[in-house]
């Protein structure tokens, strides 16, 4: 059985292996022991913290195979994007100019550095073992974060965003980066993303062009990358799109990948998840697949389960499920259909 739970310090060696395997653009997973240790400690403190509102907390989850004790994925949710410092994106919008005398009018799209997305909650750091891609477990890894938000809404913002990794080729070349960021950093894309993981992202963003970039002035290859998803980022995108997230005019500074946005209250796993109570010892006539979580904070657990669920009825769980979720008879749980 695979269970999603908060990260612990003992996960560090395995986590580093995951970080090593993760996509270049997943900058919140640096392959750096010290940074990862800090991230784990920071997450542990966040789960411990008694907070009244959203702050700098970062909730870091891992997906563990309970049989082998192997970690097979990880994901995070940051309570506040850009807490205490701006969260930068590029906004893509049209500048319209007109000449009445010449009877010419047209719009030219331009990318402007902006902080519009600061303050929203941010889903990030999604990485799953390639063997588990496009299985219910990648749904679990992504959406358990949403169930966590549903259980603890006071800790999160009214909107949730995520940045999907943008296109780069097999050699790690990002046409968008080469056309834009490279001029301002003189670093290869991979190196810039690596630095992003190690340094503050804001710090790097502030080296980016402060004036709008007119899109037609970028190479065609770079223009084609605006809002384009890395093939390995497609699943992360698809899962959240089904949750009701939408692309908008914001893209990532470095690789041009799309940003997804949703109002917290309208996210499917949040709006439609059901609270219920556990019933042990009953046979399960499985009728459907569900994501199930307890509503704990630092004891948070979530699994994929085949259940026989009826609204407003106690939910029958097997002993194994109860053990994985760390719940007993009559415990409160939350579930959503897969």
Partner 1 sequence: MILRPVQMTDLPALLELVQRAGPGFTTLPANEERLTHRVRWAQRTFAGQVERADADYLFVLEDDDQQVVGVSALVGAVGLREPWYNYRVGLTVSSSPDLGIQRQIPTLFLNNEMTGQSEICSLFLRHDQRYGSNGRLLSLGRLLFVAEFPQLFGDKLIAELRGSADEHGCSPFWDSLGRHFFKMDFSHADHLSGLGSKAFIAELMPRQPLYTCLLTEQAQAVIGKPHPNTEPALKILTAEGFAHKGYIDIFDAGPVIEAPVSRIRAVRDSQSLMLAIGTPDDQAPVWLIHNRRLESCRITTARARLVGNSLVVDRLTAKRLQLQPGSSIRAVPLRNQQQQAVAA
Task: Give the residue numbers annotated as catalytic, written as ranges.
Answer: 230
Among 50, 69, 102, 312, indicate the residue that binds partner 1 (CB under 8 A): 102
Among 53, 203, 246, 310, indicate the residue that binds partner 1 (CB under 8 A): 203
Say whether residue 209 binds partner 1 (CB under 8 A): yes
Query: Would you state the structure tokens that stand for residue 222, as one six-digit string?
Result: 């770079």
Which of 215, 284 has the CB closer to partner 1?
Answer: 215
Which of 160, 205 has the CB closer to partner 1?
Answer: 205
Query: Can you tell me the distance from the alpha carbon of 136 to that of 73, in angstroms, rounded to the nearest whole number?
Result: 13
Among 37, 135, 152, 185, indicate the residue that binds partner 1 (CB under 8 A): 185
Residue with tokens 């290859």: 221
Report the 10 Å Cβ neighbour count for 95: 13
Among 26, 81, 141, 218, indicate the residue that binds partner 1 (CB under 8 A): 218
Min separation Cβ 98 and partner 1, Å: 7
Among 9, 98, 275, 332, indicate the residue that binds partner 1 (CB under 8 A): 98
Tell me if residue 155 falls in helix, strand or coil: helix
Query: Would you state the structure tokens that stand for residue 79, as one six-digit string?
Result: 């309570």
Among 38, 134, 172, 214, indicate the residue that binds partner 1 (CB under 8 A): 214
Where b means 16+ CB within 10 Å and e means fewer, 318-338 reads: beebbebbebeeebebbbbee
Residue 325 neighbours by CB under 8 Å, 6+ apart: 3, 292, 293, 294, 301, 302, 303, 317, 331, 333
165 closest CA partner among 29, 5, 63, 13: 29
Say whether residue 144 binds partner 1 (CB under 8 A): no
Min separation Cβ 245 and partner 1, Å: 31
Residue 45 neighbours by CB under 8 Å, 6+ apart: none
- The span of 60-68, 212-220, 228-236, 275-283 binding partner 1 (CB under 8 A) equals 212-220
Among 97, 220, 310, 328, indicate the residue that binds partner 1 (CB under 8 A): 97
Q: What is the CA radius of gyration of the chain?
A: 21
Among 77, 122, 180, 205, indicate the residue that binds partner 1 (CB under 8 A): 180
Say whether residue 200 binds partner 1 (CB under 8 A): no
163 closest CA partner among 220, 93, 245: 245
Query: Can you tell me the distance from the alpha carbon of 162 to that of 28, in angstroms, rounded to the nearest whole number?
Result: 12
- Report how far apart, in Å, the C-alpha atoms of 260 and of each of 37, 208, 246 are: 28, 22, 5
Residues 108-127, one symbol each (x = binds partner 1 by CB under 8 A, - = not), give: x-x-----------------
Say whether residue 186 binds partner 1 (CB under 8 A): yes
Which of 108, 330 has the CB closer to partner 1?
Answer: 108
Cβ–Cβ < 8 Å for 267, 244: yes
Site size for partner 1 (CB under 8 A) = 30
Residues between 44 and 83 that touch partner 1 (CB under 8 A) = none
120 closest CA partner among 263, 257, 251, 265: 263
Say whether residue 183 binds partner 1 (CB under 8 A): yes
Say whether residue 2 binds partner 1 (CB under 8 A): no
Binding site for partner 1 (CB under 8 A): 95, 97-99, 101-102, 104, 106, 108, 110, 179-180, 183-187, 195, 199, 203, 207-209, 211-214, 216-218
């Amino acid at each position: 059985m695979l269970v999603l739970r908060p990260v612990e310090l003992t996960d560090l060696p395995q986590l580093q292996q995951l970080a090593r395997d993760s996509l270049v653009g997943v900058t919140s997973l640096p392959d750096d022991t010290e940074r990862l240790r800090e991230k784990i400690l920071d997450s542990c403190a966040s789960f411990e913290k008694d907070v009244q509102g959203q702050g700098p907390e970062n909730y870091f989850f891992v997906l563990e195979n309970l049989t082998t004790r192997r970690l097979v994925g990880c994901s995070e949710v940051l309570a506040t994007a850009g807490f205490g410092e701006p969260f930068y994106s590029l906004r893509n919008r049209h500048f319209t100019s007109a000449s009445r005398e010449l009877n010419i009018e047209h719009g030219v799209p331009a990318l402007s550095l902006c902080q519009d997305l600061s303050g929203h909650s941010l889903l990030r750091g999604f990485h799953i073992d390639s063997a588990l891609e496009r299985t219910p477990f990648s749904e679990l890894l992504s959406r358990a974060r949403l169930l966590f938000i549903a259980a603890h809404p006071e800790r999160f913002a009214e909107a949730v965003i995520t940045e999907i990794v943008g296109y780069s080729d097999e050699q790690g070349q990002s046409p968008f980066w080469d056309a834009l960021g490279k001029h301002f950093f003189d670093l290869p894309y991979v190196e810039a993303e690596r630095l992003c993981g190690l340094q503050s992202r804001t710090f790097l963003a502030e080296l980016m062009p402060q004036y709008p970039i007119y899109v037609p002035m970028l190479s065609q290859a770079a223009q084609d990358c605006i809002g384009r998803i890395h093939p390995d980022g497609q699943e992360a995108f698809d899962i959240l799109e089904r949750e009701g997230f939408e692309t908008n005019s914001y893209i990532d500074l470095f690789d041009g990948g799309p940003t997804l946005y949703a109002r917290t209250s309208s996210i499917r796993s949040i709006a439609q998840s059901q609270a219920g109570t556990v019933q042990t010892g009953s046979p399960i006539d499985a009728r459907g697949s569900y994501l199930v979580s307890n509503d704990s904070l630092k004891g948070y657990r979530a699994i994929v389960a085949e259940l026989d669920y009826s609204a407003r009825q106690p939910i029958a769980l097997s002993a194994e499920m109860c053990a994985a979720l760390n719940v007993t008879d009559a415990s409160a749980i939350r579930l959503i259909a897969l």
